[in-house]
Structure 1
Amino acid sequence: MRFIDVFAGCGGLSLGLLKAGCEGIIAVEKNSMAFETLRHNLIEGERYQFNWPDWLPKQAMSCEDFLNGYGREIGQLKGEIDLMVGGPPCQGFSTAGRRNPTDPRNKMAEQYLELVKIVQPKHIVIENVSGFNSKFTERKRTGGEREQYFKKSYAEFISEELSKIGYTVSRGKVNCADFGVPQNRYRYLIICSLEGDPNHLDELLQSRDRFLEDKSLPKSRPVSVYEAIADLQIRDRKLEENKDSGVRGFVEAVYEAPEVYSPYLAIMREDYRGAPNSRRLPKHKPETIVQFAKIQRESQPGRSLSKEAREKLGLKKHAITVLTKNAPSPTITTLPDDIIHYDELRILTARETARIQSFPDWFEFTGKYTTGGKKRKIECPRYTQIGNAVPPLLAEAIGVFLTERNQHFLQDELEIVQEGAINAGS
């Protein structure tokens, strides 16, 4: 199956689809930092390479730039693409933020629909935050004016528009932990097809057990964070200078691969013998470490610190969680200080968050680790790339499901043609 990834980020969806045997054609990503990670690993990577068209430069660009700059060439892709994937940026309608219906980032969903109309892929997968299906509400402004609003959610809007184009739509929430990701990450999926089957999401969920069996992952319980990151602990490890960020003064723990891998770790290490990158340790001040110890004492592992505990500790931060060793992580976000290690007084390294997102160790993140101030609006450092990504394991499960379904459809079509030929001959 040939696919296009739009709003591709650092490549979580693309990686999963490539691992499922799909063929990458084009990836559209506006941020140059995220695109560089994608290009380095998947477009021109050692393990995977997109079958990139000669007419399109391998560089970051927005969906709008893609449509305006290459309209004629995009038109020639009509009927040639099996799958289009991508989740329009969620900041405009995330329940975690200010839900502003006039946010220009919401327009990116409409650009995505315009691209669908031109290319008309056989299948479409849109992944987004669970709040994607929450409705906007009308609010009065001072002076009697009313803000612009939508009576329906963006998920409803997009689904109705896709139905008008001719797609059957299946949509709903999934928990990434159900597909082997060591993280309770609830996402909203819209799966569409031109072939008329409205039960894609149900069928995907039904394929879960077989996917986990093929990966040797447990079906009766979720994968724990301990299984995902235990080998990345720093206690009793020698520390050395970190060299993959280009900034002096940071250290990382020398990596020692365990002799025996858990099933999940075996997937993360797949035929890779080296030390993964992005293991730079944060520089915590002594008072910060003391604060982490207090947070661990006051917290209920696996649950965000209560309002009472935050007030007792004098914390202004609204969300901070201490991991539970033998349970999945809460949702990995773009803010590294949202989560504290289950056994060490520190936040997670970028590689640990990548493991929890199910990125394998050979996948190398590029660019700076963090950013701040006004740069947050324009830069996409490693922690942000990882937090925004679709977990590759979930993407792979989707790719396997759609590939098998497409094969069955083609087989049915072949049998119909053969039966028709036999009847014509008789």
Structure 2
Amino acid sequence: MKKNKIKVIGLFSGCGGLDLGFKQAGYDLIWANDILKDACDTYRLNIGGHIVNEDITKIDLNTIPNADIIIGGPPCQGFSGIGKRDPNDNRSALVYSYLDVVNKVQPKIFLFENVTGIKSSKAADGSKVIDNLKQAFENIGYHINIFTLNAADYGVPQRRKRVFIIGNKLGVDISVPPQTHFENKEGKRKWISSFEAISDLDSPTENGETKYKHQPKNEYQTLMRKNADKTTLHIVPYSSPTDKQIISHVKPGGNYMDIPDSVSTKRIMYFKSTGGRTTTYGRLDPEMPNYTINTHFNRPNIGCNIHYEEDRMITIREGLRFQSFPDDFQLISKTQRNYYVQVGNAVPPLLSKAWAEHLLKYLEDIPSPKAIHIAKSLESQTHKPELVNEYAFANAENHTE
């Protein structure tokens, strides 16, 4: 099956980070959805006009086309209300809207992305949300694998951990994409540092447009600048006089503990007394990837958002760089807030692309039911489950129906 023939539906797409990775890998994106108008406008500008701006719970499932893959990450709100469900329950949780679309479309594979907190979340009845989700997807015919991946391991300059639930109707265990970058491993590509990610960007300007400081100095900068000759959205976020004073005391790689008591707010003093907030009032370490970019990266007290060298918060463009969006990717927003919401909520496109390229081997060389049956018989005889995938894929072309 050719990549441009593999049809993809995106749910809860936002500005399109997850969708963009599949587009970059050559897939055919045919339908998408999000409730935020600004995000949909951004998506149309950069990815395609096939996105529908509507509440997913109000969409007629019969209007959604058939596809080979469904991708998306429902917002985590409402997880506490997910329990062991019966047909009469109120299906208000958005995750179950995702499930409903999967059940209606019946794709070969679906990719469900979410925050790591989903693994520890409990439902109202005390059961684990992740277990309930797995069971719900299995009930509609999907084989499930669950993984936690760090975006930094896939060339994204950000230590962003996310959970991926991967479901398939092929009857196989789908593995994780092969890791491409490493924190500490001789002879392997290292994690992309904050300096490597943004050091070619000049100081911000009033209108956010500026030429690059110099030629690309590394593979990542070259990739981000592939179709761009200047930067945009590179405007210094506003900081209060108090925040500016506080920022000036934080050293590279440091946090609120660097701030003298004489200029610390009551909140900072409370943090100092209780501890445990590594990224609060954090300044980038130029030798390490950033921590997770959130939807408030214009503020110093939520996340590691202070530039490693200049006494300022990182810009929207720098946030996009840390998320691995290319420099020709533009944002549309009627409010300042929604710029940060779109960037912070996105799945890094490079992580998405790693998934997209990895899934090709399952879609291009699909084992037949007969091959899978023989492989499972082999497992029962040898007690080696890894032979199921090995045999089934090796004999995919030799066992046809």
Q: Within 2, Cα distance between the matches of 1:8 and 1:274? A: 28
Aligned partners of 1:109, 1:275: CA distance in 2, in Å? 39
Match of 2:314 among 348, 351, 357: 348
Superposed displacement of residue 31, structure 1 = 0.8
1:121-180: per-residue Cα shift (whole Å, max 9, x none)?
Answer: 10010000000111327xxxxxxxxxxx14233222111111111111000211111011
Structure 2 distance, partners of 1:38, 1:407, is 28
Q: Which residue of 2 aligns with 1:316?
A: 267
Do the aligned residues in 1 keep the contact of 2:209 with 2:232 (CA within 8 Å)? no
- The equivalent position to 2:331 in structure 1, one of 365, 385, 406, is 365
Residue type at the aligned position of 2:210: V
Q: 1:195 to 1:59 in 2, by over 3 A?
A: closer
Residue identity in the other structure for 2:357: V
SS at match of 2:190: coil
3-state secondary structure, aligned to 2:21: helix
- Does structure 2 retain, via aligned residues, the 8 Å contact 1:32–1:59? no
TM-aligned CA deviation for residue 386 of structure 1: 0.3
Give matches, 1:368-407, under 5 Å.
368=334, 370-371=336-337, 381-407=338-364
User: Which residue does 1:10 correspond to in 2?
Assistant: 15
Q: 1:111 to 1:273 in 2, by over 3 A?
A: closer
CA–CA distance in 1 between the matches of 2:198 and 2:266?
27
Provide the residue aligned with 2:179 in structure 1. 208
- Compute the displacement of 1:83 (Å): 0.5
The equivalent residue for 1:170 is 145
Cα distance in 2 for residues equivalent to 1:59 and 1:195: 29
Distance 1:304 1:17, change over 3 A: farther
User: Any idea what SS the aligned residue of 1:232 has?
Assistant: coil
- Aligned residues: CA RMSD: 2.8
User: Are residue 191 (structure 1) and residue 177 (structure 2) matched?
Assistant: no
Q: C-alpha distance in 1, partners of 2:255/2:144? A: 35
Structure 1 length as normaliser, TM-score? 0.74
Mapped pair 1:72 → 2:62: yes
User: Which residue of the partner structure matches residue 97 of structure 2?
Assistant: 111
1:389: how far off?
A: 0.2
Q: Secondary structure at the match of 1:189?
A: strand
The match for 1:134 among 94, 98, 120 is 120
- 3-state DSSP class of the match of 2:327? coil
Other structure's SS at 1:169 match: strand
Deviation at 1:91, TM superposition (A): 3.9
User: Shift in Å at residue 15 of structure 1?
Assistant: 0.2
Which residue of structure 2 aligns with residue 424 of structure 1? none
Q: Quote how far apart the aligned CAs of 1:279 are.
A: 1.2
> 1:347 and 1:91, CA in 2 relative to 1: closer, same or farther beyond 3 A?
farther
Conservation of the 8 A alpha-carbon contact between 1:277 and 1:365: no
In structure 2, distance between residues paired with 1:382 and 1:170: 33
Distance 1:107 1:324 in 2: 39
1:310/1:316 contact within 8 Å kept: no
Whether the 8 Å contact between 2:78 and 2:93 is mirrored in structure 1 is: no
Contact 2:246 2:263 in 1 (8 A): no
| 1:266 maps to 2:271 | no
Name the residue aligned to 1:143.
none
TM-score using structure 2 length: 0.78
1:327 alignment partner, SS class: coil
1:391 and 1:106 map into 2 onto residues whose CA distance is: 28
Q: How has the CA–CA distance of structure 1 residues 308 and 256 changed in structure 2, closer, same or farther, with 3 Å as cutoff?
A: closer
- Aligned mates of 2:306, 2:78 — CA distance in 1: 28
Q: Can you give the 5+ residue segments of structure 1 that lack an aligned partner in the other structure?
A: 45-51, 53-57, 94-98, 138-148, 243-251, 372-380, 421-426
Distance 1:303 1:136 in 2: 34
State the SS of the aligned residue for 2:290: coil
Supply the AA of the counterpart residue of 1:276.
Answer: T
C-alpha deviation, 1:316, in angstroms: 2.7
Q: Does 1:328 align with 2:289?
A: yes
Aligned to 2:230: 275
Q: Identify if the C-alpha distance between structure 1 residues 154 and 396 changes in structure 2 by more than 3 Å, giving closer, same or farther.
A: same
Query: How many equivalent residue pairs?
Result: 345
